[in-house]
Structures are given as C-alpha cells and as structure tokens.
C-alpha cells in the first residue's frame, strides 16, 4: 500500500465502540435490565455458525446476554414464526437476530417482518427501513452503520461530495445510500445494469462497494484521494490449501490512489458486529425509559 493511502482499521474502531458500550451496558444492568440478544439460527450452515459464535463472544465481552435458539433445517416457516412471537412477547429480550440465510423453503420476508420493529436490531424490518427513508431512524442496519462510522473516521466532510454506492440490496446498498444522502452527499447507486461503472467510480469522492464480486472495482479507476469502503468478502482460489479472502475492490492498486481505504478482512466486518451490539444496547435503553 502506498504512503498516500491510510488504512481505515475496522478492528481498532470496533474496539473503541465496544469499550464505550461497556459503560452503557453496566448502567442498564445496574437498573435491573441487562441488555439481551436472542439469536435464532436455523439449520447447520457452517459460515452462519461462525458468525453467530463471533457475535456472541463480542456480546459477552461487554456484558450483553445472549440466548441461543437453534432450530433444525427442516423447521417450517410457521414454526419459526411461533418462536419469533415468543421472543417478541419476552420482555427480558431486547434484540432479536435471525441469522441469514434461512434454509430453502422458509419464507424469509415473512420471518423478518414478524420481528417486533422495536427488537429488530438488524434494521431489516420494513418499519425501520421506512423510518430511515424518512430521516428519523430507529435502528439502522449494522453494515451500513459501520460503513458510515468508518467514513467518519476518515475525517472527510461529506456535504457536497460525490458518493458512489455499488450494490442495491435492502441490507447494505439502499440503506447506506440513504445515510450518505442524509449527510448531504450527492449519491449515485450503481448496479449490474450500470452502463459505465468505470466512469462512475472515477468521479466519486467516496466509493462504497457492496456487490459481492471479487475485485470488480479496479484500482486505476479510483479517484486520487477518494475514501474507499469495501464491504465485499469473497473467497477465491489462491492455489494453496486455503482460499484467499478478497474484497470487491482490487486492494493494492486502489490503495496506491485512495486517500483512505478499508482492508478485507479487518475493515467493515468488525464494525458490523459492533454496530449490532450498539443497537441491542439502544433497544434495552429504550425499553427501560
């Protein structure tokens, strides 16, 4: 990486966020309401199990209680909805996380919409997405929130800047575009039908890449001094025993031109978990007020 590009260290920033959360968790616990996250994992997806373990370890590190709800891959939509209804009614549970992806045959949309919006710490419920659209968010989806905190750490003034979001998912692309817009950036959303992605990237002061295609964004496209937030985590064959993890941006070449850039891994990922736990604490604080 060239000396001109500074690394946006998600691990270090997440550590600071978690340290701040620790005091708030203690205050909630002292008031008799320990923040509690219920994690619902359906099936045996190995990656999902790893993600859940990581979230639970980080939660424990700041005093947040977690409750595991493991259900077999054969679980029906109706059975899963019944479990969510139980968690919605449990006043000791402040946040509900349904680990995605769900097994084939389970209606993901019905499941996510069944979560009480006041416990939707993932920020996926239509109520919470709608509030974000209106500029009065309750819970912001964790990865977009992490992206914004990383951008803030770069010190860039977003007002008037050109921001490009590559990807239009409801989980990352659309929410992060709204957050950038609320900071008065001029926002473009690019996607698979975008005619000239290179031209869009070359004109952007901020690039958020969240499309899931290995090194789609070439380093020479990056505007000199731009802030690059790489959400992608792609496993590619590097010729060894283990696959190599790469982002949606060609890191080394991009780092030679960017002002700030996130690594993969160690950039957005740690911030996603930290922001999830921040949402759990906010939910507990709101429930006790």
pLDDT mean for each 10 residues of the chain (289 residues)? 77 97 96 96 92 94 97 97 98 97 95 98 97 96 98 97 97 97 98 95 98 96 98 85 89 97 96 98 90
Structure token pair of residue 224: 């000199």
19 domain-assigned: no
- Based on the fold, state whether residues 152 and 54 are members of the same structural domain: no
- Based on the fold, state whether residues 48 and 158 are members of the same structural domain: no
- Based on the fold, state whether residues 260 and 203 are members of the same structural domain: yes
- Based on the fold, state whether residues 254 and 156 are members of the same structural domain: yes
pLDDT at 5: 82
The HSE-up count of residue 40 (CA atoms within 13 Å, CB side) is 29
- Based on the fold, state whether residues 94 and 168 are members of the same structural domain: no
Report the C-alpha gap between 174 and 134 in whole angstroms. 13
| Residue 257 neighbours by CB under 8 Å, 6+ apart | 2, 4, 5, 219, 220, 222, 223, 224, 225, 226
169 domain-assigned: yes
Is residue 107 flagged as an active site residue? no
Residue given tokens 């616990």 in the structure block: 29
Is residue 183 flagged as an active site residue? no
Q: Domain span at residue 191?
A: 141-269
pTM: 0.94
Is residue 6 flagged as an active site residue? no
Neighbours of 53 (CB within 10 A): 12
73 domain-assigned: yes
Of the listed 58, 120, 122, 205, which one is catalytic? 122
Report the C-alpha gap between 130 and 139 in whole angstroms. 11
**Dihedral of the alpha carbons of 112, 272, 35, 79, in degrees to the nearest 10:** 20
136 near 182, Cβ under 8 Å? no
187 domain-assigned: yes
**Dihedral of the alpha carbons of 56, 7, 185, 221, in degrees to the nearest 10:** -120
- Based on the fold, state whether residues 40 and 101 are members of the same structural domain: yes
- Based on the fold, state whether residues 151 and 75 are members of the same structural domain: no
- Based on the fold, state whether residues 189 and 260 are members of the same structural domain: yes
Which of 119, 149, 180 is at the close of a domain?
A: 119
- Based on the fold, state whether residues 183 and 230 are members of the same structural domain: yes
Number of H helices, E strands in the chain: 10, 11
- Based on the fold, state whether residues 90 and 198 are members of the same structural domain: no
Report the C-alpha gap between 183 and 12 in whole angstroms. 24
pLDDT at 2: 44
pLDDT at 73: 95
pLDDT at 289: 67
285 domain-assigned: no
Report the C-alpha gap between 219 and 5 in whole angstroms. 12
13 domain-assigned: no
For position 220, which CATH number holds? Answer: 3.40.50.720
pLDDT at 1: 42
110 domain-assigned: yes
Element of type H or E holding 19: helix 10-30
Of the listed 55, 119, 161, 223, which one is catalytic? 55
112 near 106, Cβ under 8 Å? no
- Based on the fold, state whether residues 164 and 243 are members of the same structural domain: yes
Q: How many domains does the chain have?
A: 2
59 domain-assigned: yes
- Based on the fold, state whether residues 146 and 81 are members of the same structural domain: no
For position 81, which CATH number holds? Answer: 3.40.50.10860
Characterise 200 by phi-psi region: left (phi > 0), alpha (psi -120 to 50), beta (else). alpha
Radius of gyration of the chain (CA): 19
Structure token pair of residue 40: 């619902």
23 near 276, Cβ under 8 Å? no
Residue given tokens 């990056």 in the structure block: 222
């Amino acid at each position: 990486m060239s000396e001109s590009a500074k690394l946006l260290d998600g691990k270090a920033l997440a550590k600071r966020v978690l340290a701040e959360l620790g005091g708030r968790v203690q205050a909630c616990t002292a008031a008799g309401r320990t923040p509690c996250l219920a994690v619902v994992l359906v099936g045996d997806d190995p990656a999902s199990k790893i993600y859940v373990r990581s979230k639970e370890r980080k939660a424990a590190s700041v005093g947040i209680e977690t409750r595991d709800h493991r259900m077999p891959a054969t679980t029906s939509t109706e059975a899963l909805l019944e479990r969510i209804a139980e968690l919605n009614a449990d006043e000791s549970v402040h946040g509900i996380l349904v680990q995605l992806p769900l097994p084939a045959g389970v209606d993901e949309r019905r499941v996510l919409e069944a979560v009480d919006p006041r416990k939707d710490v993932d920020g996926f419920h239509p109520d919470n997405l709608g509030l974000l659209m209106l500029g009065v968010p309750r819970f912001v989806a964790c990865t977009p929130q992490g992206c914004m905190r990383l951008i803030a750490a770069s010190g860039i003034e977003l007002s008037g800047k050109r921001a490009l979001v590559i990807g239009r998912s409801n989980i990352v692309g659309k929410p992060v575009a709204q957050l950038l817009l609320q900071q008065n950036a001029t926002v473009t959303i690019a996607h698979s039908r975008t005619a000239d992605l290179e031209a869009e990237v070359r004109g952007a002061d901020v690039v958020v890449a969240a499309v899931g295609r290995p090194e789609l964004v070439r380093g020479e496209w990056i505007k000199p001094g731009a802030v690059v937030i790489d959400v992608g985590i792609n496993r590619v064959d590097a010729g060894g025993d283990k696959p190599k993890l790469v982002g949606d941006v060609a890191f080394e070449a991009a780092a030679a031109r960017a002002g700030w850039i996130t690594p993969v891994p160690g950039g957005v990922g740690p911030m996603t978990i930290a922001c999830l736990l921040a949402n759990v604490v906010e939910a507990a604080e709101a429930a006790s007020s």
